[in-house]
Structure 1
Amino acid sequence: MPKGIALTTGLNAVSPAHYGGWSGELNACEADAKDMAEIARSKDYEVKTLLTKEATRKNVIDGIIKAAGTLTSGDIFMLSYSGHGGQLPDMNSDEDDAQDETWCLYDGEMVDDELYTLLGKFAKGVRVLVFSDSCHSGTVTKQAYYQSAMRAVGAKGIAPEVRYRFMPMEVAVRTYRDNKKFYDPILKDAKLKESRDAVNASVILISGCQDNQLSADGAFNGLFTANLLQVWNEGKFRKGYRAFRRAIVNRMPPDQTPNYFRVGETSRAFERQRPFTI
């Protein structure tokens, strides 16, 4: 009988001690994590939820490694992240824009290469489903544009003063410079450059926006998660993952388009399954 494990994370703030005095406060990331956990429980996953101060690098890494050591071929792991997206300088030359994307965990950033290395610990035949309601890039100019655009479309679920889930560039620079001794060994690790190619499991990743867009926070959920919940409709959605992503996109404003991509072994059977199926 297949087994399912879920790790849902949501950070409404980060530690100013690591991020140069920036707390990165958001409204709805903890709610996102709780709602994703509810979906997982409804499908009989074993669920662990990490909220804000609990969502440390160690706890997230340990949670993924524990799941990888437990699950075998035919099982499924679901990982969701709601919080700020950040950037660090690319030092192993695997990024076209010379910047590594990150998740801003409570006490430090997790580099995208690190995440792929962790996903590489799952056995062949394991299905891995990743949701990321965060931004991966953004400038002050983009922020001003997106605030104007989002108010214009009147998208549902967004607070009157829109917040975006990205680390401002000045904070990104300060955080890196203050913590170079921690980040440089990760960023310079040549082995991490090949981390995507080392993934043997079948991984589907659905993110809240494209790499050059911003993900909006909301009053009750992030915009992406809010529309995911509407499409899921308490389990009434019956099609596969590509149709799931398309249905979410159809509810989104034109400047926030959820992305869909695969890593590791391609599994058409996995893609055709009803979302969250164990």
Structure 2
Amino acid sequence: MKLALCIGINDYPGVDNDLTGCRNDADDWAAALGNRGFEIRKLVDSAASGAAIRTGIRDLLGRATSGDAVVITYSGHGTWVPDRDGDESDHRDEALCPHDIAVNGPLVDDELFTLFERAAPGVRTVLISDSCHSGTLTRLNRPIGDHRRPSRFLPPSTFLSPAEATRAGARPPLRAKPRSAALLLAGCKDSEYSYDASFNGRPNGAFSYVALTTLTELPESATYRDWLRAIRAQLPSQDFPQTPALQATAAQLAWPLLS
């Protein structure tokens, strides 16, 4: 089986940090993966609560068996929370921001690792995230053109108490961070922004647009490294100074691209 969950969140109630291109990203990823034979489920805006995202990932991985492929695409805000277990060199855990983050908090990378770890042996799990993965940065609104909107952050103070936010200054002893059970293709490095953009008058994430455009130009024999190389030929750019990143084990790099 080939199973995909495509998540896109423009609307963040309770905070003044809405985005514009994430639902289009989810639609575009769903179309591209559907053309490659994936069974698609989408979660957008209010449907993409933290509980729904967790349940969606569990359901896909629960159905998948050895030889199956599971792809999760996420387009929305990223943020950080203070690292509590000492596995982050910057003492911050990166996190995704569900629609209901203001009420129920983020989805932290440690929990994502635990979710992906449940996959049966031999399942090829891929996470494609068009969001910021840094402890101090978030996805921005910045369309191409002369009328650029101000940058908007989603800082931890949006959903953490002042006491919790200040814990990021603590320095717990580092421990080894486990390797992810999923291959990760990210829109930027931990220390960078990911950007909202507009292409031909249609909002998209800069990374999602470039990744999907280059995907159509790759040969069937292409690898994830080939895909990253093609994306990096266009990003970073003067308009979008973000460097897409690939995190994978040697075994994961041998997986067939999106199949």
**TM norm. shorter chain > 0.5:** yes
C-alpha distance in 2, partners of 1:49/1:58? 14
Q: Is residue 243 from structure 1 mapped to residue 226 from structure 2 by the alignment? A: yes
Corresponding position of 2:45: 52
The two structures have a TM-score, normalised by structure 1, of: 0.76
Runs of 4+ in 1 over 2 A off after TM superposition: 136-140, 157-160, 162-166, 193-197, 233-238, 265-269
Cα distance change, pair 194–124 in 1 and its aligned pair in 2 (3 A): farther
Instruction: Note the C-alpha offset of 1:269.
Output: 3.1
Per-residue CA distance 1:151-174 (angstroms, 9 max, x = gap):
xxxxxx73541566852x3xx124
Q: Secondary structure at the match of 2:65?
A: coil
Q: Is the 8 A contact 2:87 2:177 kept in 1?
A: no
What does residue range 53-202 of structure 1 map to in structure 2 within 5 Å? 53-108=46-101, 109-137=106-134, 158=144, 160-161=147-148, 166-167=153-154, 169=155, 172-177=156-161, 196-197=178-179
The aligned runs of 1:204-215 (5 Å cut-off) are 204-215=183-194
Whether 2:27 is the aligned partner of 1:34: answer yes
RMSD: 3.0
Deviation sequence 1:36-60 (CA, Å, 0-9, x none) = 0001111111110011111111111
CA-to-aligned-CA distance 1:120-153 (integer Å, 9 cap, x gap): 010111001110000123769x99xx99xx9xxx
Alpha carbons of structure 1 residues 174 and 162: separation in structure 2 relative to 1, 3 Å: closer
Any conservation in 2 of the 1:6–1:45 contact (CA below 8 Å)? yes
Distance 1:166 1:37, change over 3 A: farther
- Cα gap change, 1:4/1:128 in structure 2, threshold over 3 Å: closer, same or farther? same
* Structure 2 unaligned spans of 5+: 168-174
Match of 1:230 in 2: 213
Pick the structure with more helix per residue: 1
Instruction: Please list every run of 5 or more consecutive structure 1 residues that lacks an aligned counterpart in the other structure.
Output: 17-21, 151-156, 185-192
Percent identity for Structure 1 against Structure 2: 33
